[in-house]
Structures are given as structure tokens and as C-alpha cells.
Amino acid sequence: MRESRIIRVAILGFGTVGRGVYDLMQRRENELEEKTGLRAQVARILVRDAGRSRDGVDQALITDRFEEILADDSIDIVVEVMGGIEPARTYITEALKSGKSVVTANKDLMAVHGGELLSLAGSMERDLLFEASVAGGIPIIRPMKQCLAGNHITEIIGIVNGTTNYILTRMTQDGMEFSDALAQATELGYAEADPTADVEGYDAGRKLAILASIAFHSRVTFDDVHTEGITKISAADIRYVKEMGCVIKLLAIARETGDGIEASVQPMLLPAAHPLASVNDVFNAVFVHGDAIDDAMFYGRGAGRYPTASACMGDIIDCMRNIHFRCMGRIGCSCYRSLPVKSMEETMQRYFLRLQVEDKPGVLACIASVMGRHGVSVKQMVQKPIQNNSAELVLISDSVREADFCDALEEFRGMDMIYEVSSLIRVYE
Ligand code: NAP
Ligand code: HSE
């Protein structure tokens, strides 16, 4: 039997994304019935300041009281686009408990409490869909849960933060320093007033936790993800890296290895020929490796009003279809395994290292001896022009256990002939 009523949707939050969802709901009003068999309308909008009028929106829809939405049994779907952990977590929990399906764009919440919320949705036989929480408008969660379900996925590599990708693109293409590129990103409205979550890699880390949980069917939370940002990357690093045929990108990488999951976000050297190397400006992309599909890349706009609202609308339409055919909660939590997440020290990495050293015979031999003792082999090395009795060594190592490389670095820091370790950046392989 099919439902034949109007689906009523409450939007929690009316900022960038909330407004976009409202606009798309109006734009698609007539098509929704053709697409889903049901009509839909925005029933309520929750904001902090209900007194402020919102352009083109019936004031009667606006409320600052979530209790009104919760108590309204005619509301079928709650779209949470407020952000943050609380009260979003409580509102989603209450909405699911009262039998409403939920759509959210909230990566902060899903990266930490996704397991508990999805399990509640499952027990209530309701949908909790979160396509917009990773890479904005790019379809990636549903493709991984559904279209790629026939694969054993072993690796995901993402450029999932537009702000940092914009900054690194300006540094690469225009030779800017980090601070100037950040100032430009702020001026253009890409970077937030407080850019910490973007430039320190936390935003990408949250998205990676969500992606890794889906890809490997084992819960990975934000705390499990090793995060490093791009604040220490200099224009000089970018120049040297270019000479070596690479670019620097903030990569979110998750791998399933034989002995656990690796999950990290960090700036990395990427060969210029890799498809992700040409993902520039604010664009995002996710590269997935599966045993059957081999490689697949998903590319597009990772943020912004309508790209993000596009992902929310796709989820709303899925919820409507599931209500129509009475099959809510069809695709819930897919974490049926429990794999360990490895510490960074246990992982194998290659490194790009820039050292300022004393310019005298025997220095290179000492450096090579320290590296050799710790099992670090050098793949590529150049010495840069000498100034004031010092030389700059730029080298790329072969793959080595991170803990061993860190031990070698510790020795370098205690050596008089090494003036400074200027840069240390991992190399993708
Ligand atoms: P935003 O512009 O700051 O808007 C937040 C909205 O939520 C505002 O309308 C605010 O109300 C309302 N709100 C916040 N706390 C509230 C509370 N306690 N009670 C009632 N209303 C509250 O945020 P946004 O950029 O749209 O982001 C929303 C969510 O989407 C976040 O989870 C974000 O991570 C995610 N997301 C955003 C993007 C993007 O491009 N912006 C992309 C992907 C995912 P007032 O208007 O009254 O202040
Ligand atoms: N701040 C994010 C970015 C957008 O720069 O990609 C929201 O996820």
C-alpha cells in the first residue's frame, strides 16, 4: 500500500544551507509529486531569532521552539542544517524517537555520534540520511553505500576541504605565501571568520571519519583520524615540490590494510599526473579504489548554498520515496565489522624533507649514516645553492615506518651540523 498525503518538512536552521533547501523545495514543488508520487511542503523553520523576518518566507512558518516541531505529528521529515553538536544531537535524537525521518548536513555530529544516531534510526525504522555532510554537492555517501556495495573498498583519497584547496592552489599557481592566500580566501568568503577547522585539517578529518566508516563497514570517529593542517607549508616548499614533478594537496586518506584501518589528513606531495592533482580552487574530489571498480573519482563543488542543498534535497526525496512505499530505514548503518584503527607511528610513509645544514665535508655522510641506522633509504636528493656557510638539502625518502623516520629526525635535531629541519611533508604513493 502507498501513502497519498502531503509530506511535511521542518527545516532546523535557516543560514546558508537552510535557505538553499527552502528555495529548492519551492523550485521543485511541482516536480516532487512526479518524482516521488507525493507532494511536499515546508511546514516549519527553526531559527535562534524568530523575530527577524526572512525574505519571501511566511513568518508563520518561523519558530525558535523545537518543541513545537517535535509535538507536531504531521511533520514527517526534519532537516537539520544548524551545525554543531548540541542541540543538534538532541533534536535529531528526539525527532527520530518521535517517528520522524531526518536529513542532516552536520559532519561535526556524524563524525562523532554517527554510530549512536544511525543505530537509533535503525531501531525506529526511520531514515537518517547525511549526503551533504561530506563534500557538499558531490554524491559520495549514497554511491559508496549503494552503487559500490558490490566492491571491497580498500582506499579512499579525498580533497574534501574547499578552503584549503583554494589556498594551496593560489600558493601553487601564483607563488603566494600561506597567509596571503588565506587572506584572499577570507576576502572571497571561502574561509570562515575563524578558519581553524579548515586550515588545521579538522573539517577534512570529520569528513574522512564518515567516509571511512562507510567504505570499510567499521566505525571510524573523528578522534581516530590523525590530522595535520597546511599552516606550515611555505611558498618555497611548493617551488621545490614543483621541480620534483609534484603538487602539494591536503589529502584525506583512509586505507584498509591487513592489520587495521589507516586514517589521516595531511598536506602531501602528489605526482602532478595524478587525477587529484588537477582538482583546483574550491573544488573537491574523492578517489575510491575497489576490487571490482578499480578506481573511481567523484568531483564537484564541496560547499556553498545550492550544491549543499542539492545533496539535502536528494535525501529528502529518498525519505519521501521510502515513506510512500512504507520502507523507511531501508539503508541504515552499514558498520557490521569492528576493525582496529592504526596509530600513525605504525604506518609506512615516504617523506619530503628540507634541511638547512652546515656546508663542510662529511655532513652528507653523517646524515646518510643516521638515516641508514634507522632504516631510512633516500630515493631522491638535491642540494640547493649555498648561503653563509650553509647548504640546503631537499630529499625524498623511500617508504619507511613512521616511528623509525621520527627517530632519525630526533637525532637530526640534536646534531650541530643541522641548523634547521625546515619542512617535513609526507609523499603520497
Ligand atoms: P549557518 O549559515 O551558520 O546557519 C546556521 C543556521 O542555524 C542559522 O539560521 C541559525 O539561526 C541556526 N541555528 C544555529 N544554532 C541554532 C539553535 N541552537 N537553535 C535554532 N537555530 C539555530 O550554517 P550553514 O553554513 O548553513 O551550515 C549548516 C550545516 O551544514 C552545518 O552542519 C555545516 O557543517 C553543514 N554544511 C555547510 C556547508 C556550507 O557550504 N555552508 C557545506 C556542507 C555542510 P540564526 O539565523 O537565528 O542565527
Ligand atoms: N568549510 C568547508 C570547506 C565547507 O572549506 O570545504 C563546509 O564543509
Q: Which atom of ligand 2 is nearest to the CA of 166?
A: 5
> What is the per-residue pLDDT across 48-106, written as a single tens digit (0 to 9) for each?
999 999 999 999 999 999 999 999 999 999 999 999 999 999 999 999 999 999 999 99
| Length of the chain as a residue count | 429
Q: Which is nearest to 342 in space by CA: 189, 181, 216?
A: 216
> What does the pLDDT read at residue 389?
84
With a 6 A CB cut-off, is 43 part of the ligand 1 pocket? no
Q: Which atom of ligand 1 is nearest to the CA of 133?
A: 44
With a 6 A CB cut-off, is 205 part of the ligand 1 pocket? no
Arithmetic mean of pLDDT, 332-359: 96
Per DSSP bridges, beta strands 153-159 and 246-257 are: antiparallel
Where does residue 387 fall: left (phi above 0), alpha (psi -120 to 50 degrees), or beta otherwise?
beta
CA separation for the pair 197, 191 (Å, rounded):
10
With a 6 A CB cut-off, is 165 part of the ligand 2 pocket? no
Residue 387 has pLDDT above 90, yes or no: no
Distance 202 CA to ligand 2 centre (A): 10
DSSP code of 189?
T
Residue 291 has pLDDT above 70, yes or no: yes
Pocket test for ligand 2, best of 82, 109, 184, 198 (most atoms within 8 A of CB): 198
Active site residue 207: yes
Arithmetic mean of pLDDT, 371-377: 96
Other C-beta atoms within 10 Å of 204: how many?
31
Among the residue ranges 108-112, 216-220, 330-334, the one predicted with the least confidence is 330-334
CA separation for the pair 394, 396 (Å, rounded):
7
Provide, rounded to the nearest whole percent, the portion of the chain with pLDDT above 90: 94
- Measure the CA angle with vertex 294, ends 292 and 299; round to 5°: 120
Q: Which atom of ligand 1 is nearest to the CA of 83?
A: 32
> What does the pLDDT read at residue 203?
98
Confidence class of residue 40 from pLDDT cuts 50, 70 and 90?
A: very high
Residue 3 has pLDDT above 80, yes or no: no
45 burial (CB, 10 Å; 0-12 / 13-18 / 19+) is: buried
Under 8 Å between Cβ of 91 and 114? no
CA separation for the pair 298, 288 (Å, rounded):
8
Confidence class of residue 386 from pLDDT cuts 50, 70 and 90?
A: confident
What is the strand order of the sheet 39-46 is part of?
A: 62-63, 39-46, 6-12, 77-80, 101-104, 128-129
> What is the per-residue pLDDT across 151-172, written as a single tens digit (0 to 9) for each?
999 999 999 999 999 999 999 9
Confidence class of residue 5 from pLDDT cuts 50, 70 and 90?
A: confident
Residue 383 has pLDDT above 90, yes or no: no
Among the residue ranges 141-145, 275-279, 363-367, the one predicted with the least confidence is 363-367
Distance 421 CA to ligand 1 centre (A): 41
> What does the pLDDT read at residue 362?
93
Pocket test for ligand 2, best of 203, 211, 312 (most atoms within 8 A of CB): 203
| H-run or E-run covering 28 | none
> What does the pLDDT read at residue 1?
59
C-alpha cell at 322: 521510502
Arithmetic mean of pLDDT, 100-128: 98
Ligand 2 atom 2: residue of nearest CA: 161
Name the amino acid, one letter, at 237.
D
Residue 385 has pLDDT above 90, yes or no: no
Name the amino acid, one letter, at 202.
Y
Confidence class of residue 384 from pLDDT cuts 50, 70 and 90?
A: confident
With a 6 A CB cut-off, is 304 part of the ligand 2 pocket? no
Q: Return mean pLDDT, the chain.
A: 96
Other C-beta atoms within 10 Å of 397: how many?
21
With a 6 A CB cut-off, is 162 part of the ligand 2 pocket? yes
> What is the per-residue pLDDT across 307-321, written as a single tens digit (0 to 9) for each?
999 999 999 999 999
Q: Which atom of ligand 1 is nearest to the CA of 47?
A: 21
With a 6 A CB cut-off, is 105 part of the ligand 1 pocket? yes
Q: Which residue has the higher pLDDT, 376 or 388?
A: 376
Catalytic residue among 35, 97, 107, 207: 207
